[in-house]
Structure 1
């Protein structure tokens, strides 16, 4: 007598083998496992000899819960690589092949690099594991056959919708990071082709969170170009952080010392300065006072 049949599409053969191995620990309870091919599907059939109704019901409940455990793990974890891969192929077809493959690799690296439960995919898996298991149990209450891909397609539409949204967020992060890195390369190029207007720049943060720039003689840098940049703040959405970056690129110093850097709460600003002026930045906790 067949208790349950679990079907997989042919390309999931290796994953199906892992499911069979995970079922080994309850094989002793009186059923056997056979494999059967039907078209492009491969089925794992769980077959049992005739038992009394009570024993059969107990065995079926034990097997049902075990299959739900294994398949929910399988769908949320093992299949994720293939699902993410397909989403990127389907949703981002308009990218050039090379570009799409690079984006796919960066997203997959982010998914599987072990970034913990606080990552987008970590949160996604925590949220959905229990829901997926419950829906498998509900299906198996009334059916003795479950085809994994069809189950995902028709019974887990909201799961797939949120997975697509999660992939979209990851792709957006990847594209933003790529644009940022290209921007950093461009700024670094501007700095490298200029002659330093001041050999060393000292950066101070005043009580108004504005930046004061000193030259290597500890005098305030206050030339016409920086005055013009400062005036732009009132005319545009340019911030003091933007002004600082623009000023440093204009001056193109050989060395930058940031005094009292812990006062700068914008860590992204510090990262940008470090990347644009790679190897030229010194962080100091000591404060300084400009000379008159």
Structure 2
């Protein structure tokens, strides 16, 4: 006797293969729990169906009907998350948020999908929460009816799962806008530096690790922050963070040439400094000036040139 079926419309052979693979893996676990169950796959054009049959009464099963529904719900949820989530996320984002143009919406969408992919691991809290809410909703549907149409379910019955996606979409939009504002401000600083007359011939920026920076003049003497006025400096001072303090001081002294000494040249703060000061800046990972502060670097550790130009 047929006990339940899971069906879905597929657009590609890849989706069909994923449906078969994911649900076949769950079949093995179901067989261990209840050997009386029989499974079969069938397809009609683009529609694929997974069917489970077994003997009644349920009291004769080695596992409860609830356990079987739980395992089936896990399989259906795994398929939706792997094959359908990106489409659902794109539809939700584009229908509920307004963007200036298609280019901006595409960039935010890619940002959103990147966050989903980054969170999609066994230890990801948001991923586990979405998976749990999806499984619970499918379980309720299977308790009400043994035949589950995933297309109908995705349209009408997964509000709690979509709410999780919606909250992540809101976070993605906020983060994207903050990132855009940051990029615009960095561009403003770069423009400001470009037209600023140099006040010091050389500045050494020694990055000792983390947020520990040392600013030295050409004679390797510490530099005190110089006050400067203007819109750019006011904005830096309004919401001062550590990175802003370093940038603010460097803009105040306006070096004609700046050498950033660091053992971590790919850190965002280093890349940002090099980008703001453009062709005035170069990055050094080992030289006589920085070795007393940062220690010597073995030749085997030099995986790239001792001085790096970020502008070429």
Give TM-score, length-normalised by structure 2: 0.65
Partner of 1:72: 77
Q: Distance in 2 between matches of 1:220 and 1:31?
A: 75
How many residues are paired up? 267
Q: Report the CA distance between 1:195 and its aligned residue.
A: 4.5
29, 42, 46: which one aligns with 1:34: 42
Alignment of 1:229-244 (within 5 A): 229=229, 237=238, 239=240, 241=242, 242-244=244-246
Q: 1:165 to 1:99 in 2, by over 3 A?
A: same
| Structure-2 separation of matches of 1:172 and 1:237 | 21
Corresponding position of 1:253? 256
SS at match of 2:203: strand
Q: CA deviation at 1:258?
A: 6.4
Equivalent residues in 2 for 1:5-24, closer than 5 Å: 5-9=5-9, 11=11, 14-24=14-24
List per-residue Cα deviations over 1:13-65 (Å, max 9, x = no partner).
Answer: 7435422344444699534333457xxx946252648x453598669947634
Identify if the C-alpha distance between structure 1 residues 285 and 80 changes in structure 2 by more than 3 Å, giving closer, same or farther. Answer: farther
Please list the CA deviations of residues 255-284 of structure 1 after superposition, one character each: whole Å capped at 9, or x if unmatched.
24569x99xxxx875553243235524574
Check the 8 A contact 1:36/1:45 in 2, yes or no: no
Residues 276/115 of structure 1: CA separation in 2 closer, same or farther (3 Å cut): farther
- Unaligned segments of structure 2, at least 5 residues: 294-312
Q: Report the equivalent of 1:81.
A: 86
The answer to whether the 8 A contact 1:33-1:47 is kept is no
Q: CA RMSD in A?
A: 4.3
Paired position in structure 2 for 1:106: 111
1:104 CA drift (Å): 1.4
Deviation at 1:171, TM superposition (A): 2.4
Cα distance in structure 2, aligned partners of 1:55 and 1:221: 82
Distance change (3 Å), C-alpha of 1:215 and 1:229: farther
Q: Distance in 2 between matches of 1:87 and 1:20?
A: 27
Q: Superposed, which structure 2 residues align to 1:1-292 within 5 Å?
A: 1-9=1-9, 11=11, 14-24=14-24, 25=27, 29-35=37-43, 42=47, 44=49, 46=51, 48=53, 51-54=55-58, 61=65, 64-112=69-117, 122-202=124-204, 214-218=216-220, 226-229=226-229, 237=238, 239=240, 241=242, 242-250=244-252, 251-257=254-260, 272-277=272-277, 279-282=281-284, 284=290, 286=292
**Cα distance in 2 between the residues matched to 1:253 and 1:170:** 39
- For residue 143 of structure 1, report the CA deviation from its aligned partner: 1.0
Change in Cα spacing, 1:92 to 1:131, as seen in structure 2 (3 Å) is: closer
CA distance in 2, matches of 1:195, 1:172: 36
- Give the deviation of 1:154 after TM superposition: 3.9
In structure 2, the CA distance between the partners of 1:257 and 1:139, relative to structure 1 (3 Å rule), is closer
CA contact 2:77–2:135 (8 Å) conserved in 1: yes
Gaps of 5+ in 1: 288-292
